[in-house]
Structure formats: C-alpha cells, structure tokens
C-alpha cells in the first residue's frame, strides 16, 4: 500500500517539481516508511542523501503537502542495513589425522603394528583392556621399562582407539617435561586456572616419562591434584617411566601410592625374535623388501629397537638403485663399513662446521662476541651437541667457544633442550646436524 502511494507521489513530483531534478533522483531511491495526519516518514539509503534532502526540506514538504492536500512534516531517516547472516563458505571438519595431531599422537603408533612376544605380552593385554574399558579396568596404567621397549607405542595406541571411537573425546599425550614447563609458564603468566582447565577435564591423560616431575615440589603438588580430579571423574590416566615407581628418587610418597593403586607393568627389552618381527613390520610400512635372513642379521647386531628402523633406512639408502631388495650381502657390507667408521672420531670442529653449514654462518662468528640471533642460536646448538653428544664438560665448551664461563654454556644447552621439546621442526633441524655428523664419520 505505502509502496504504491509513494510511486504515485513520485510521478506527481516529477511533473511538478520544477527545477529540482536532483531532489527527484534522490527521492526516487527512497521508500515511504509511514504516513500519519501530520507526518510522513521517508527512508533514504545513506547519510549523504539524507543531508541533501534535509537542505531541500522546505521544497519537499511544500510539494508533498500539495499532493496530499494537507500540511505534512517530512521526517527523513537513514535505512538501517540488515546484517546478512554470517555463514561460513566452507564448514571445516578436521580429519582423523588432525584429531590425532591435536592430541599429541603419532599416526604410526597403533595396536595393529605392535609386535608382541613374551617380553611385552602382559603390557599389550593390559593396554587393550584399558582401551576397551577406559577409566575402569586399570587406573592408572603404569608402564615402565628401558628405551625403545614400546611404552609410548602402547600408550598412544590406547589413545588412538579412544579417538577412533569418538572424535569428541578429550585426549592428550604429554611428555613429563612439557607438563613441568607449561606449569612454570602458567605461574609466571598468572594463568594457572587455564592450565588446570586444560589438564583436569580430559577423558584420557597420558604422561610420558613421568619420572621427570620427581624432585619438583610445585609440579608434583599440581600433578597430584590433577591426577585425583581425573580419576575421581572416571577419566583414564596412563603413565610411562624408565623405572618402577618405588625406584623413582625424590617422588612424593602420596604420588608413589597413587601410581601403585592401578596396574604396574614391566616391559622387558625385546628379544631376538621380537626385534626381527619389529624390523619386518617397519620394512612393510615403508614398502622395503628385505630377506628374512638379512632381517635376522640386523636383529642380531642391533639390540635397541629404536635403532632398528634407522639401520633399516640406512641400508636401504645404500642399496637404492642397486638392488630391488635388501639381502644378506647388502647387510654384511653395511656392518663392515660401519665397523671401519667406528674408529673415526667426531671432533668439536666437525660439530661447528656442520652447524654453521646448515645456518649459513661463518665459523669465526661463533667464537665472536656477537649476540645477534642468527649467530647466538647456532652457537647454542653447538653447545648442546658438544655437551649431549660428545660429553664435553661445560668449562671446556666455554673455553672452545670463547664464552665467559660455564654458566653461559649451561643456559644455552637448557634453551636448546626446551626449544626441541616445544618445536618439532626445530628438533628435526638439530637431529639433522647430529645425523649428518654420524653419517660423515
């Protein structure tokens, strides 16, 4: 109704407006909001149109009153633009891999590729029981053993299965030193409430290398309350360590008691048969063909299960393009070359050279007073490698790099260690330097 009335008026205005074509053009873009006995409301598109029409108000009111045959006051209002409902162009749905990554899990760890033998069958059975009935079967599940026995693999396999059953589950895999570092940062930033919210409301909490919290009173206090909150809520806690809770020095008795309240499982180092099975699984995952007898020779030579994969890849790299599969000859040749290289020793100069090469820094700058980040970071990496890999004492490293004293070296090593924990890409860079040193000897 108002629309048709306004259109009729505009036709009248066009014929009787005289010398006001601009006013007509603006009015043609307006709408009639309301019409009463004394007032007419006009909606215009923007403030510029309103400003101009206000200046011509007398002319507009005169012709409007003439058309409607009564005195009308014109009220000019800017039309409010309706906000469009914001809908995302794309609705992001995280992939299963994204869910695993957010929980701190590695895709390669799952029950299907975990080799089982007499050394780990109890731990395997316990982990599967927990995965089927989290928070009820064994809580906490405490897995302990030496390096490379499969503690992390089993713990993450349980978490993976929980997330496969429900993506909405809150699962977190956390190294013990990260828990410590984040707590310290939250205290410094006065954000302990956010820290507790992150950890205390999980459905499953896995702490790898729990022994790292020992001796740290505040950290143990916080973990004690986190542990109690989770268990009371029926959430699953899985802990791994390199030793039995009773053997962890400076661990509070109340934590030792809580850890012993669940199931504690010892995982022994893999025997020959298990190492061979692990090697064959790794080869299959990486599409590497290897003879059974060749796999047995590698398993006899390499006791550390983590080193098995590295040895497999090294042999494969040497045979790539020469043979279709790894056979006995390729393995024996590899170990023969490795034996000869053992007699060569890595020197501090080798470390400096390799690090400077990666970061494109001159060796002379490493020993200079410069504190710029492009020099300071490689220098601290060198300190870390000299200390951790070559086992050189702090005073000697300080002397080699012309630093003031051993505390500078200590600070540099701690900084690199923390950066490697928090930043996987940075850790990869440091590992690349270490591996290049090992392969060059």
Whether residue 83 is contained in a domain is answered as no
146 is an annotated ligand-binding site residue: no
For the chain, the domain total comes to: 4
The pTM score is 0.56
In angstroms, how far is CA 80 from the centroid of its own chain? Answer: 44
- Mean pLDDT across the stretch 292-320? 86
100 and 242 in a single domain? The answer is: yes
Q: What is the mean pLDDT of the chain?
A: 85
34 and 108 in a single domain? The answer is: no
Element (H, E) at 60: helix 57-68
Q: Is the per-residue pLDDT at 203 higher than 70?
A: yes
CB atoms within 10 A of CB 128: 17
- Mean pLDDT across the stretch 367-379? 89
Whether residue 86 is contained in a domain is answered as no
Report the distance separating Cα 7 and Cα 95, nearest Å. 56
Parallel, antiparallel or unpaired: strands 141-144 and 171-175: unpaired
Instruction: Kindly report each contact of residues 325-332 with a partner whose C-beta sits within 8 Å and lies 24 or more positions away, as own/partner.
Output: 325/288, 325/289, 325/290, 325/291, 326/283, 326/288, 326/289, 326/290, 326/291, 326/294, 327/291, 327/294, 328/291, 328/293, 328/294, 328/297, 330/294, 331/294, 331/297, 331/298, 332/297
Question: Could you tell me the CATH number of the domain that includes residue 385?
Answer: 1.10.1750.10
Whether residue 417 is contained in a domain is answered as yes
Element (H, E) at 206: strand 204-208
Most confident of 81-90, 186-195, 298-307: 186-195
Of the three residues 47, 78, 109, the one that is the final residue of a domain is: 78
User: Which of 25-29, 185-189, 196-200 has the lowest average pLDDT?
Assistant: 25-29
151 and 201 in a single domain? The answer is: yes
Q: Read off the pLDDT band of 434 (50, 70, 90).
A: confident
Are the CB atoms for 207 and 104 separated by under 8 Å? no
Whether residue 243 is contained in a domain is answered as yes
Are the CB atoms for 234 and 115 separated by under 8 Å? no
Whether residue 39 is contained in a domain is answered as yes
pLDDT 10s digits, 47-71: 777 777 787 888 888 888 888 888 8
Task: Give the pLDDT score at 341.
Answer: 57
Residue that the structure tokens 């995965």 belong to: 131
User: Which residue stretches of 260-393 are H helix?
Assistant: 272-285, 292-301, 305-319, 328-341, 348-359, 363-366, 373-388
Which residues are CB-contacts of 18 (< 8 A; sequence separation ≥ 6)? none
Domain that holds residue 421: 348-440
Q: Is the per-residue pLDDT at 86 higher than 70?
A: no
Of the three residues 244, 266, 288, the one that is the final residue of a domain is: 266
Q: What percent of the chain has pLDDT over 70?
A: 92
Report the distance separating Cα 169 and Cα 236, nearest Å. 12
Report the distance separating Cα 227 and Cα 200, nearest Å. 8
- Mean pLDDT across the stretch 324-345? 76
Task: Give the pLDDT score at 74.
Answer: 84
Whether residue 89 is contained in a domain is answered as no
Task: Give the pLDDT score at 85.
Answer: 53
DSSP letter (8 states) at residue 199: H
148 is an annotated ligand-binding site residue: yes
Is the preceding peptide bond at 140 cis, omega within 30 degrees of 0?
yes
Residue that the structure tokens 């290289």 belong to: 341
133 and 168 in a single domain? The answer is: yes
229 and 284 in a single domain? The answer is: no
User: Which of 167-171, 222-226, 339-343 has the lowest average pLDDT?
Assistant: 339-343
Q: Is the per-residue pLDDT at 145 higher than 80?
A: yes
100 and 206 in a single domain? The answer is: yes
Backbone angles phi and psi of 324, in degrees to 5: -80, -25
Question: Could you tell me the CATH number of the domain that includes residue 112?
Answer: 3.40.50.300
Task: Give the pLDDT score at 172.
Answer: 93
118 and 260 in a single domain? The answer is: yes
Task: Give the pLDDT score at 324.
Answer: 81
434 and 370 in a single domain? The answer is: yes
Q: Is the per-residue pLDDT at 345 higher than 90?
A: no
Q: Read off the pLDDT band of 252 (50, 70, 90).
A: very high
Report the distance separating Cα 185 and Cα 253, nearest Å. 26
CB atoms within 10 A of CB 153: 24
Question: Could you tell me the CATH number of the domain that includes residue 303?
Answer: 1.10.8.60
Report the distance separating Cα 70 and Cα 67, nearest Å. 8
Report the distance separating Cα 27 and Cα 50, nearest Å. 10
146 and 253 in a single domain? The answer is: yes
Joined tokens for residue 384? 């870390």
Q: Is the per-residue pLDDT at 422 higher than 70?
A: yes
313 and 410 in a single domain? The answer is: no
Whether residue 156 is contained in a domain is answered as yes
pLDDT 10s digits, 381-412: 999 999 988 889 998 999 999 988 888 999 99
Task: Give the pLDDT score at 108.
Answer: 86
Question: Could you tell me the CATH number of the domain that includes residue 16?
Answer: 3.30.300.180
Q: Is the per-residue pLDDT at 87 higher than 70?
A: no
Are the CB atoms for 53 and 25 separated by under 8 Å? no
Of the three residues 78, 106, 139, the one that is the final residue of a domain is: 78
3-state secondary structure of 61: helix
DSSP letter (8 states) at residue 303: -
CA atoms within 13 A on the CB side of 320: 9
Whether residue 245 is contained in a domain is answered as yes
Task: Give the pLDDT score at 18.
Answer: 63
Which residues are CB-contacts of 220 (< 8 A; sequence separation ≥ 6)? 213, 214, 251, 252, 255
Task: Give the pLDDT score at 202.
Answer: 92
304 and 162 in a single domain? The answer is: no
144 and 260 in a single domain? The answer is: yes
């Amino acid at each position: 109704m108002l629309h048709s009335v306004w259109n009729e008026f505009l036709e009248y205005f066009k014929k009787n407006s005289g010398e006001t074509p601009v006013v007509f053009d603006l009015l043609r873009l307006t709408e009639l909001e309301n019409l009463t006995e004394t007032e007419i409301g006009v909606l215009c598109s923007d403030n510029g149109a309103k400003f101009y029409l206000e200046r011509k108000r007398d002319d507009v009111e005169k012709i409007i009153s003439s058309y409607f045959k009564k005195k009308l006051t014109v009220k000019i209002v800017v039309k409010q633009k309706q906000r469009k409902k914001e809908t995302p162009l794309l609705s992001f749905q995280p992939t299963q891999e994204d869910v695993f990554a957010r929980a701190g899990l590695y895709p390669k760890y799952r029950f299907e590729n975990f080799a089982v033998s007499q050394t780990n069958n109890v731990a395997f059975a316990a982990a599967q029981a927990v995965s089927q009935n989290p928070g009820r079967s064994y809580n906490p599940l405490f897995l302990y053993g030496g390096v490379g026995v499969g503690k992390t693999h089993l713990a993450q396999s349980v978490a993976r299965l929980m997330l496969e059953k429900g993506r909405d589950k809150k699962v977190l895999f956390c190294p013990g030193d990260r828990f410590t570092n984040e707590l310290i940062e939250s205290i410094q930033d006065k954000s302990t409430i956010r820290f507790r919210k992150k950890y205390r409301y999980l459905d499953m909490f896995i702490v790898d290398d729990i022994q790292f919290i020992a001796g740290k009173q505040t950290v143990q206090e916080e973990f004690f309350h986190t542990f109690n909150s989770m268990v009371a809520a029926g959430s699953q806690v899985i802990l791994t360590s390199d030793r039995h809770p009773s053997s962890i020095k400076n661990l509070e008795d109340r934590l030792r008691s809580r850890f012993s309240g669940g199931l504690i499982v010892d995982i022994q180092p893999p025997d020959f048969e298990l190492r061979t099975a692990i090697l064959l699984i790794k080869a299959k995952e990486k599409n590497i063909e290897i003879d059974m007898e060749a796999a047995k020779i590698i398993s006899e030579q390499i006791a550390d299960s983590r080193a098995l994969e590295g040895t497999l890849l090294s042999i494969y790299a040497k045979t790539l393009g020469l043979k279709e599969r790894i056979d006995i000859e390729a393995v024996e040749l590899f170990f023969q070359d490795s034996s000869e290289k053992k007699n060569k020793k890595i020197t501090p100069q080798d470390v400096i050279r390799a690090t400077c090469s990666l970061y494109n820094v001159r060796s002379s700058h490493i020993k200079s007073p410069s504190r710029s980040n492009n020099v300071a970071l490689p220098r601290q990496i060198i300190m870390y490698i000299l200390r951790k890999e070559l086992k050189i004492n702090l005073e000697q490293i300080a002397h080699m790099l012309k630093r003031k004293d051993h505390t500078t070296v200590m600070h540099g090593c701690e900084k690199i260690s923390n950066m490697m924990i928090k930043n996987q890409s940075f850790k990869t860079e440091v590992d690349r330097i270490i591996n290049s040193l090992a392969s060059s000897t």
